[in-house]
A and B are shown apart, each in its own frame.
Chain A
Amino acid sequence: MKPPPFDYHAPRSVGEALETLAGAGEHGKVLAGGQSLIPMLNMRLAAPGHLVDINRLTELDTLDVEPGGVRVGALARHARVERSEEVAAAQPLLCQALRLVAHPVIRNRGTVVGSLVHADPAAELPAVLALLGGSVRLARPGAVRDVPAAGFFTGLLESAAEPGELAVSAFFPLLPPRSGTAFREVARRHGDYALAGVAALVGLDDDLRITAARVACVSVGPAPVLVDVTEACGHRPPASADWASAARAVQERTAPEADIHATADYRRHLTGVLAQQALRDAAREALDA
Chain B
Amino acid sequence: MTTKLFGEPVRRREDPRLLTGQGRYLDDLGGDALAAAFVRSPHAHARIRDIDVSAAIDVDGLVAIYTWEDLPALLAQPLPLLIPHPALTHGRTAHPLARDLVRHVGEPVVMVVARDRYLAEDACALIRVDYEILKPVVGVEEAAQSAQLVHGDVPGNVGAHLVQEVPSAAGLGAREAIETAPHTLAFRLDIERSASMPLEGRGVYARWDADDRSLRVYTSTQTSTSVRMAIAAKLGLPLPKVEVIAPDVGGGFGVKIVHPWPEEVLVPWAAILLDREVKWAEDRREHFVSSAHERAQVQSVRVGFDDDGRVLGLEVNILHDHGAYTPYGIIVPIITSTQLLGPYKIGAYRVEFSSIYTNTVQVTPYRGAGRPQAVFCMERTMDHIAAHLGADRTAVREVNFIRPDEFPYDQGLIFQDGRPLIYDSGDYPESLRMLKELIGWDSFPEAKAQAAAEGRRIGIGIGCYVEGTGVGPYEGGHVQITSDGRVHVSTGLTSQGQGHETVFAQIAAAELGVPLERVSVVTGDTRRFGYAVGTFASRAAVMSGNAIALACRKVREKALRIAADALEAAPGDLEIVDGEVRVLGAPGSSIPLATVAVLSNPLRYAFDEEAARATQFAGTSAFDRPPVEEGQEPGLEGRDYYSPLRSTFASGMHAAIVETDPLTAEIRILRYAVVHDCGNLINPMIVEGQIHGGVAQGVGGALYERMVYDEHGQLLNASFMDFLMPYATEIPRVETAHLQTPSPLNPLGIKGAGEAGVIPVSAVIASAIEDAEGIGIDRMPISPSDLFDLRRASTGRSTSET
A interface with B by C-beta (< 8 Å)? 1-5, 39, 43-44, 103, 186, 188-192, 195, 260-263, 265-266, 269-270, 273-274
Q: How far is the CB of B108 from chain A (nearest CB, A)?
A: 16
A160 to B785, CA, bound (A): 34
Residues of A within 8 A of B117 (CB): 2
Indicate whether B722 reaches chain A with its CB closer than 8 angstroms: yes
Question: Can you list 25 A-B pairs with a CB-CB distance of less than 8 A?
Answer: A1-B121, A3-B118, A5-B118, A43-B285, A103-B727, A188-B783, A188-B784, A189-B704, A189-B724, A189-B726, A189-B730, A190-B730, A191-B727, A192-B724, A195-B785, A260-B716, A260-B722, A261-B722, A261-B785, A262-B783, A263-B789, A266-B788, A269-B788, A270-B664, A274-B664
Tell which of B125, B666, B717, B784 touches A260, judged by Cβ atoms closer than 8 Å: B717
Q: How far is the CB of B224 from chain A (nearest CB, A)?
A: 27
Q: How far is the CB of A34 from chain B (nearest CB, A)?
A: 15
Indicate whether B663 reaches chain A with its CB closer than 8 angstroms: yes
Residues of A within 8 A of B784 (CB): 186, 188, 195, 262, 266
B347-380 interface (Cβ within 8 A of A): none
Q: Flag if B285 contacts A1 (CB, 8 Å).
A: yes
A274 to B665, CA, bound (A): 12
Indicate whether B398 reaches chain A with its CB closer than 8 angstroms: no
Indicate whether B708 reaches chain A with its CB closer than 8 angstroms: yes
Max chain A Cβ within 10 angstroms of own Cβ: one of B122, B285, B663: B663
A190 to B785, CA, bound (A): 16
Known contacts A1-B285, A261-B783, A261-B785: A188-B663 contact under CB 8 Å: no
- Mask for B227-261, Cβ within 8 A of A = 1, else 0? 00000000000000000000000000000000000
B616-666 interface (Cβ within 8 A of A): 663-666
Indicate whether B798 reaches chain A with its CB closer than 8 angstroms: no
Indicate whether B554 reaches chain A with its CB closer than 8 angstroms: no
Which residue in chain A gives the minimum CB-CB distance to B59? A5
Indicate whether B729 reaches chain A with its CB closer than 8 angstroms: yes
A-B interface pairs (CB < 8 A), number: 65
A193 to B716, CA, bound (A): 17
Max chain A Cβ within 10 angstroms of own Cβ: one of B125, B663, B785: B785
Residues of B within 8 A of A186 (CB): 664, 666, 784
Q: Flag if B785 contacts A273 (CB, 8 Å).
A: no
Q: How far is the CB of A269 from chain B (nearest CB, A)?
A: 6
Q: Flag if A189 contacts B285 (CB, 8 Å).
A: no
Q: How far is the CB of A46 from chain B (nearest CB, A)?
A: 14
Max chain B Cβ within 10 angstroms of own Cβ: one of A2, A192, A269: A2
Residues of B within 8 A of A103 (CB): 727
Q: Flag if A4 contacts B125 (CB, 8 Å).
A: yes
Q: How far is the CB of A35 from chain B (nearest CB, A)?
A: 12
A260 to B193, CA, bound (A): 14
Q: Flag if A188 contacts B704 (CB, 8 Å).
A: yes
Which residue in chain B gives the minimum CB-CB distance to A270? B664
Tally of B interface residues using CB under 8 Å: 29
- Mask for B272-313, Cβ within 8 A of A = 1, else 0? 000000000001110000000000000000000000000000
Known contacts A2-B117, A43-B285, A260-B708: A191-B788 contact under CB 8 Å: no
Q: Flag if B789 contacts A266 (CB, 8 Å).
A: yes
A166 to B345, CA, bound (A): 72
Tell which of B283, B663, B721, B724 touches A1, judged by Cβ atoms closer than 8 Å: B283
Q: How far is the CB of A257 from chain B (nearest CB, A)?
A: 13
Residues of A within 8 A of B704 (CB): 188-189
B723-774 interface (Cβ within 8 A of A): 724, 726-727, 729-730
- Excluding A44-B121, A188-B724, 16 further A-B contacts by CB distance (< 8 Å) are A1-B284, A2-B117, A2-B118, A39-B721, A186-B666, A188-B783, A188-B784, A189-B726, A189-B727, A189-B729, A260-B716, A261-B783, A262-B783, A262-B785, A263-B785, A265-B788
Known contacts A188-B704, A266-B788, A269-B788: A5-B122 contact under CB 8 Å: yes
Q: How far is the CB of A73 from chain B (nearest CB, A)?
A: 28
Q: How far is the CB of B620 from chain A (nearest CB, A)?
A: 63
Max chain B Cβ within 10 angstroms of own Cβ: one of A188, A262, A263: A188
Residues of A within 8 A of B721 (CB): 39
Residues of B within 8 A of A266 (CB): 665, 784-785, 788-789
A188 to B666, CA, bound (A): 9
Residues of B within 8 A of A262 (CB): 783-785
Residues of A within 8 A of B708 (CB): 260
Q: How far is the CB of A267 from chain B (nearest CB, A)?
A: 8
Residues of B within 8 A of A263 (CB): 785, 788-789
Q: Flag if B729 contacts A191 (CB, 8 Å).
A: yes
- Mask for B690-717, Cβ within 8 A of A = 1, else 0? 0000000000000010001000000011
Q: Flag if B666 contacts A190 (CB, 8 Å).
A: no
A269 to B785, CA, bound (A): 10
A60 to B122, CA, bound (A): 35
A5 to B61, CA, bound (A): 13
Residues of A within 8 A of B284 (CB): 1
Q: How far is the CB of B512 from chain A (nearest CB, A)?
A: 45
Residues of A within 8 A of B724 (CB): 188-189, 192, 261
Which residue in chain B gives the minimum CB-CB distance to A262? B785
Which residue in chain A gives the minimum CB-CB distance to B286? A1
Residues of A within 8 A of B665 (CB): 266
Q: How far is the CB of A121 from chain B (nearest CB, A)?
A: 15
Q: How far is the CB of B701 from chain A (nearest CB, A)?
A: 14
A269 to B666, CA, bound (A): 13
Residues of B within 8 A of A273 (CB): 663-664
Q: Flag if B727 contacts A190 (CB, 8 Å).
A: yes
A188 to B730, CA, bound (A): 9
A164 to B724, CA, bound (A): 37
Residues of A within 8 A of B785 (CB): 195, 261-263, 266
Which residue in chain A gives the minimum CB-CB distance to B284? A1
Residues of A within 8 A of B125 (CB): 4, 44
A262 to B118, CA, bound (A): 36
Residues of A within 8 A of B783 (CB): 188, 261-262
B89-130 interface (Cβ within 8 A of A): 117-118, 121-122, 125
Q: Flag if A4 contacts B717 (CB, 8 Å).
A: no
Residues of B within 8 A of A188 (CB): 704, 724, 783-784
Residues of A within 8 A of B719 (CB): 43
Q: How far is the CB of B318 from chain A (nearest CB, A)?
A: 26
Residues of A within 8 A of B118 (CB): 2-3, 5
Tell which of A2, A191, A260, A274 touches B121, judged by Cβ atoms closer than 8 Å: A2
Q: How far is the CB of A259 from chain B (nearest CB, A)?
A: 9
- Mask for B125-150, Cβ within 8 A of A = 1, else 0? 10000000000000000000000000
Q: How far is the CB of A115 from chain B (nearest CB, A)?
A: 16
A219 to B117, CA, bound (A): 36
Known contacts A260-B717, A273-B664: A190-B788 contact under CB 8 Å: no
A270 to B665, CA, bound (A): 9
Which residue in chain A gives the minimum CB-CB distance to B720? A39
Q: How far is the CB of A217 from chain B (nearest CB, A)?
A: 15
Residues of B within 8 A of A192 (CB): 724
Q: Flag if B729 contacts A190 (CB, 8 Å).
A: yes
Residues of A within 8 A of B726 (CB): 189
Which residue in chain B gives the minimum CB-CB distance to A5? B122
Which residue in chain B gives the minimum CB-CB distance to A42? B283
A9 to B716, CA, bound (A): 35
Which residue in chain A gives the minimum CB-CB distance to B703? A188
A124 to B744, CA, bound (A): 59
Q: How far is the CB of B119 from chain A (nearest CB, A)?
A: 9
Going nearest first, the 5 A-B pairs with the smallest beta carbon separation are A190-B729, A262-B785, A1-B283, A266-B785, A2-B118
